[in-house]
Amino acid sequence: MTHTPQITDSHCHLDFPDFDGELDQVIARATEAGVSRMVSICTKVEGEAKVRAIAEAHAPVFYAAATHPMSVGKGAMFTFDMLVALAQHPKFVGIGETGLDYHYTAETAVAQQDSLRIHCAAAHATGLPLIIHSRDADDDMARILAEEHANGAFDCVMHCFSSSAELARAALDLGFYLSMSGIAAFPRSKDLRDIFAAAPIDRILVETDSPYLAPPPHRGKRNEPAFTAHTARVGAEVFGLDYADFAARTQENFDRLFAKAAQWQEAA
């Protein structure tokens, strides 16, 4: 029997209505595809209970929470104290996704920056990695991350990275990680693949951001954690590795960055 290399979907949204009534099957398909762990991301305060319940009910699922930049100013927002309290949960493994989005919500740029700084402080205080969303905000993102990291060091992953080579270098120079989503597998994403290829292999994660951004051959359809394997196969090509080697390297990277999830696995 052939062993399926194990990988981790480091960023998905299993609480979204796209998966309602089908979670057991979605997680089973992920496991069958070798996706042995998933980090489900909460993007607003009112969704935390549902995301937490999914993680508690499914052994392969962990969770993280933050105020998504596009949710800033649209209701209750996570505070520093709330995030520190959530970090006590055994399956709460990251602070995110937070960040800056000037493409859709530039009108709240200043408030987004304030929220991002709160999340940076929480990552430093808890020792959990920061999970960053960045869109059309490269200069401010690089500046704020550098400033906050100088104020108090933290680990970080640039989720669904599809920004400039300059932001990639700024993040890598801070010791951060870049995560490959289905965008990196799109045929027209050669420039993005070149950015990843220039990064150290020990700073690479893979993800789906499901239900969005399904990689080929599922592009245009609902994405799900099992499809992480398609992106990872493209990642293996980018780094000139066979799939099993690339999978093993990304697992090591995930375990290093999301140490709490790795430790939970060992204790389970």
Average pLDDT over residues 117-139: 98
Domain spanning 7-267, CATH architecture: Alpha-Beta Barrel (3.20)
Res 3: pLDDT: 84
**Cα–Cα distance measured from residue 242 to residue 84, given in angstroms and rounded to the nearest whole number:** 40
Res 253: pLDDT: 98
Q: Name residue 167's amino acid.
A: L
Residue 123, SS3 per DSSP: helix
Binding residues for a divalent metal cation: 11, 13, 97, 133, 159, 209
Q: Mean pLDDT, the chain, as a whole number? A: 96
Residue 40 confidence (pLDDT) above 80: yes
Residue 1 confidence (pLDDT) above 60: no
Binding residues: 11, 13, 97, 133, 159, 209
- pLDDT tens digit string along 170-189? 999 999 999 999 999 999 99
Give the burial string for 126-165 (b: 16+ CB within 10 Å, else e): bebbbbbbbbebbebbbebbeebbeeeebbbbbbbbbbbe
For the chain, the domains span: 7-267
Average pLDDT over residues 106-114: 98
For residue 246, which of 8, 60, 1 has the smallest C-alpha distance? 8
Residue 145 confidence (pLDDT) above 60: yes
Average pLDDT over residues 242-253: 98
